[in-house]
Amino acid sequence: MRELSLNVMDVAQNCITAKANVVTIEVIESDKKDFLDIYVKDDGCGMTKEQVESVIDPFFTTRKTRKVGLGVPLFKMAAEQTGGTFSIDSTVNVGTTLYAHFIKSSVDMTPLGDINSTVKILIQCNPDIDFLFSYTTDHGSFTLDTKELRGILGEDVPLNTPDVLEWIDGFLEEQTNNIHGGATP
């Protein structure tokens, strides 16, 4: 994976498979404190303790098309190669939280990449699921809550209407520029 945002898109797919109603994606980064944290949280079906242990094994997958499952192992590797940490906290019928901690200045740090594009595609392809995305830097933070957007749009206008997606795109870009001190990330 060339960007962490791609790892996020990949593991978020697991939330959707777990029948989540709300998927929370949180990115917190600080140049001053030299870290980048990513949380991917869902309220889906959760996993047992044994399953949590096995998902970090590349040769474990619930899928039928192939015998390998690399999503979680790749994300874990990306975090650990920077000297960071990775953990999964899951409770059956409650949900799962993935937490990855990165040391930003590490030479092995993968860039975050186009996280906005990830969020937009997740909303576009899963208009029935709610996404809560928040992004925090040294300069500030912002939140995009699809529940709030849904409240304004009403039941008749789905979140994946082209004009709505364009609005989301513009909103994310504007807000990201703000929290990066006005410069392009």
Partner 1 sequence: MKSLAELQAIRDKAKLELNMRHENPDAIRVLVGMATCGIAAGARPVLNAFTEEVAKRKLQDVTITQTGCIGICQFEPVVEIEIPGEDKVTYVKMTPEKVAKVVNDHIVNRNVVTEYTIGAYK
Q: Select 60 or 171, whichever has its Cβ closest to partner 1.
A: 171
The answer to the question of residue 111 lying near partner 1 (CB under 8 A) is no
Of the candidate spans 6-14, 24-32, 36-44, 103-111, the one that interacts with partner 1 by CB under 8 A turns out to be 6-14
β-strands 22-30, 140-145: how paired? unpaired
Rounded CA-CA distance 140/159 in Å is 26
The answer to the question of residue 154 lying near partner 1 (CB under 8 A) is yes
Which whole-number Å values give the CA distances from 79 to 38, 76, 161, 166, 176, in the listed order? 10, 5, 35, 32, 23
103 HSE (CA, 13 A, CB side): 11
- The least CB distance from residue 27 to partner 1, in Å, is 17
- Binding to partner 1 (CB under 8 A) within 53-92 occurs at 63, 65-66, 69-71, 74
Q: In what order do the strands lie in the sheet with 130-137?
A: 85-91, 95-102, 35-42, 22-30, 130-137, 140-145
The answer to the question of residue 127 lying near partner 1 (CB under 8 A) is yes
Q: Are 36 and 112 in contact (CB under 8 A)?
A: yes
Residue identified by tokens 């740090």 is: 109
Of the candidate spans 5-13, 30-38, 100-108, 130-138, the one that interacts with partner 1 by CB under 8 A turns out to be 5-13
- The least CB distance from residue 131 to partner 1, in Å, is 14
Helix (H, G, I), strand (E, B) or coil at 142: strand
The answer to the question of residue 97 lying near partner 1 (CB under 8 A) is no
Question: Looking at the DSSP assignment, which residues form a beta bridge with residue 114?
Answer: none
| Per-residue x/- track, 11-30, partner 1 (CB under 8 A) | --x-----------------
Question: Looking at the DSSP assignment, which residues form a beta bridge with residue 1?
Answer: none
Q: Contact residues for partner 1 (CB under 8 A)?
A: 1-2, 6, 9-10, 13, 63, 65-66, 69-71, 74, 114, 117-118, 121, 124-125, 127, 148-149, 152-154, 156-158, 160-167, 170-171, 174
